[in-house]
Amino acid sequence: MSPGAAGLSFELTHTFPASRERVFRALTEPDELVRWWGPDGFATPSAEVDLRAGGRYRFAMQPPEGELFHLSGEFREIDPPGRLAYTFVWDPPTPDDRETLAELTLREVDGGTAVTLVQGPFATEERRALHEDGWTQSFGRLAAALEET
């Protein structure tokens, strides 16, 4: 690990026009996750979720071009509808991937729910930027999915 790599993380906040309970469900229920998870153009053919501390999750992700791959991890903290934390691991990983921790905090704001995500540490700036961009696009897709319901 290079010096300072432990500090490679990001924080992102997005406001959704829905209640904390509704947003929490969208972040944790398989039928909801397959509707919006992933960057623009990606599909999520399946999502398995064992929503309890120590429980695991596994999502199949299909990029617009390329092979199906998986994302999995373990839930570390579940406090509906205000907090969710889980590990984040790619399968198969690239050489610069490592397990990271994604921590989401949901708070009521005028007009909906603000979700703040903190994720890290990443091994490289490239992987950090890739995840931040992926979450930004995913949150856009989540907002659109919430508006449809």
Sign of CA dihedral 63, 68, 32, 90: negative
Is 2 part of any domain? Answer: no
Structural domain includes residue 83: yes
Residue 4 has a pLDDT of 44
Each residue's pLDDT, cut to its tens digit, for the chain (149 residues) gives: 344 445 899 999 999 999 999 999 999 999 999 999 999 999 999 999 999 999 999 999 999 999 999 999 999 999 999 999 999 999 888 889 999 999 999 999 998 999 999 999 999 999 999 999 999 999 999 999 999 87
In a domain, 104, yes or no: yes
Residue 112: CATH number of its domain = 3.30.530.20
Number of folded domains in the chain?
1
Residue 1 included in any domain: no
Confirm whether 44 is domain-assigned.
yes
Q: CA 72 to CA 14: how far, in whole Å? A: 23
One-letter amino acid at 95 equals P
* Predicted local distance difference test score (pLDDT) of residue 95: 87
The reported pLDDT for the residue numbered 6 is 54
- Report yes or no on 88 lying in a domain: yes
Residue 111 belongs to domain spanning? 8-148
